[in-house]
Structure formats: structure tokens, C-alpha cells
Amino acid sequence: MKYRRTFLAYGTVMILGLAALAPLAHSQGQATPMRVNPLGQDAYWIEGGVGSNAGAIIGKDGVIVIDAKQTPESGRGLLAEVAKLTTKPMTHVILTHSNLDHVDGLASFPKGLTIIAQENCKKQMENPRSNPQNIDLRDYLPTKIVKEKESLTISGVRVELLHFAPAHTSGDLIIYLPDQKIAFTGDITVTRLPYPLIHLEDNGSSEGWIESMKGIVALDADTFVPGHGGVQTKAELQNRLANTAARRAKIKELVAQGKSLDEIKTALGEPLTPAASRQGFASFTEVVYKELSKS
């Protein structure tokens, strides 16, 4: 009975979590009303529309936007919400990574902006693996590249840009505002799945995710804005890191014993449903198994 309860509980969490992550499935889906949430000191996170969370930081002379939603329509909606906050112009966009639910809304942004991204994010935008809407972003490729770490002051706002390791993708970038003690983490943190979503097809890494999360929780921040879902506290991220590291260690142990993927899933109380029926995403267990078994 204990195994059955564990299996059913995990399956329920997976079903609910994956249903909630429909925007991550790289399809337009249904737009939801946008809502602007203040974080303090002229910083905001914006949910709704189609695609990921976005951010807006109002500086002395202009606005920094973080991520751009998934569709041109939602991109325009994001700009309209920012215009309600201030008449200052948007001057900079910082991208957390290249997935289309974070970047395709750029197509409706003004041209000539400074667009900042990690170097691998730019490479992936230049050669997208998926472009179902045929969005042309040639005029919106990153114009400023970050390799690992860079500290900037943009319109009077101190911004630290951090890339610890490939995690969700190989082009992840964390945006840390030291004065406001806020970090935008992109999809390194997604609140609606029990374990991280890693895109091996974008050269993400479960080991790199753990390294990146250790870097995130070491920041002197109180508020963490994920790519999808509500804001998180440091304690919540520390708990997620501990659970994920323990799960990866257990999978590694089972792989070393020569267990098959299905045997590992059964031992962990996970459903054996093929990834293709779950919006095409490999589960965390599947990702770690592929990494460690080289299958």
C-alpha cells in the first residue's frame, strides 16, 4: 500500500504540474490576463499573457525588461503594462535563455534596443531548434553578450548577470539586483513541477542545474522570480535544491547498479508514461538516466 500511495501521489503531482506548464510546451495556448506584481524599489514581475514570467525595472532614464513572452501579441501586452507604470522608454532587454516562450514576443518590441544574453543563448536564437510560429528575430538578436559574470549599472540600476553552468539550457542567465535583493532565475526554477525541467536538446545539465542553484541560493536575495509560477523564498529554493540533489544521487546509485530506466522509475515510484505523452518533455529521472548511462 505504501508503494501504491507513493506512486499515485507522484503521478498526481506530475499530471497537475505538467498541465499547469502548458505554455512551456512551445505552443501558443490560451492567453491569460496579465498582472503586474510590485517587488519594491521600482521592480516588478509580470505574469499572464502567453509565455513565461517577465520583469520590469524602472531606472532613472529608462526601463529594463526581463524576457519578452511567447507571442507578438503578448509582447505588445507586456509593453502596454510597462507603459502604465512609467512614461520612460524601454532601453534594455535581458534574456534568461533562448526558449521561445521567453523570446518570441521580442518581435513586437521596438528595434534598436540593447538586448543582453548569455553567449549560448545568442547561438541558440541564431539557430532555433523550434520555430512553429515562424517568428523572425533577426532584428532582435542579443547585442551584448555575457559569458559567465558581469556587473553593470543601467540607468542607475545595479545589475549582476550570472551564468554558473549549463542548467535548464546551456545559455541560462540569472539577473540579480543587489540593491533590491531580487533575483530573476528564468527556468532554472519552475515552481509547478516536483523536479527541474532540463532541456538536453539545448545542452542543459542536471549536474549544472545543481551547481547553478547553489549559486542562486548563495546570493544575498530575499525574492526569487522563477520563469513560471509565483515568487519563491530562499528557504523554498534551498529545499528544492536538497530534494533534487538527493534524487539525482539516488538515480546515480541505481544507474551504477545497472538498473534500466523503467526499473529506476519503479524504484522511485514514478509512472512509466513515455515522455512523448507529456508535451515532449523528458522527466528529471529520464534526463539524469540519459546523462549517466550515455543512452
Each residue of 126-150: pLDDT tens digit?
998 888 888 999 999 999 999 999 9
Q: What is the residue whose three cell numbers read 546515480? A: 252
- In this prediction, residue 196 carries a pLDDT of 96
Find out whether 72 and 80 touch, Cβ atoms under 8 Å: no
* Residue corresponding to grid cell 524602472: 58
SS3 category, 152:
strand
In this prediction, residues 151-155 reach a mean pLDDT of: 98
Confidence class for position 4, pLDDT limits 50, 70, 90: very low
Q: What are the angstrom distances between the C-alpha of 117 and each of 45, 93, 141, 215, 269?
A: 19, 9, 9, 18, 39
Cell of residue 61, nine digits:
532614464
* Confidence tier at 274 by pLDDT (50, 70, 90): low
Supply 166's cell numbers.
549549463
- The C-alpha atoms of residue 25 and residue 250 are separated, in whole angstroms, by 28
Average per-residue pLDDT in the chain?
89
Looking at residue 31, its pLDDT comes to 80
pLDDT of residue 170: 98
CATH code at position 143: 3.60.15.10
| In the predicted structure, residue 247 carries a pLDDT above the cut 70 | yes
Residue 295 — pLDDT band, cuts 50, 70, 90?
Answer: low
Note whether 95 and 102 are within 8 A (CB): yes
Distance of alpha carbon 13 from alpha carbon 25, whole angstroms: 18
The model carries a pTM of 0.89
> Which band of pLDDT confidence, cut at 50, 70 and 90, is reported for residue 11?
very low
Using the Cα atoms of residue 40, residue 118, residue 227 and residue 22 in order, give the sign of their dihedral: positive
Return the percentage of the chain with pLDDT > 70, whole number.
87
Helix (H, G, I), strand (E, B) or coil at 105: helix
| Residue range(s) defining the domain that contains residue 146 | 2-293
Contact 263, 254 (CB under 8 A): yes
Cell of 144: 551584448
Round to whole Å and give the CA distance between 122 and 171.
Answer: 8
Residue 271 has pLDDT above 70, yes or no: yes
What pLDDT is recorded for position 9? 40
Question: What is the mean pLDDT of the segment spanning 216-241?
Answer: 97
CA atoms within 13 A on the CB side of 186: 36
Q: Give the orientation angle of helix 261-268 with respect to helix 234-256, to 10 degrees.
A: 130
Percent of the chain with pLDDT over 90: 81
**Whole-angstrom distance, CA of residue 167 vs CA of residue 128:** 18
The gap between the terminal CA atoms of the chain, to the nearest Å, is 33
What does the block give as the cell for 84? 502604465
pLDDT digits (tens, 9 = 90+) for 248-262: 999 999 999 999 999
Chain CA centroid to CA 250, Å: 25
Q: How confident is the model at residue 58 (pLDDT cuts 50, 70, 90)?
A: very high
- Of 146, 34, 25, the C-alpha closest to 79 is 34
The domain total for the chain is 1
Give per-residue pLDDT as tens, 21-51. Answer: 433 443 445 689 999 999 999 999 999 999 9
pLDDT at residue 192, rounded to an integer: 83
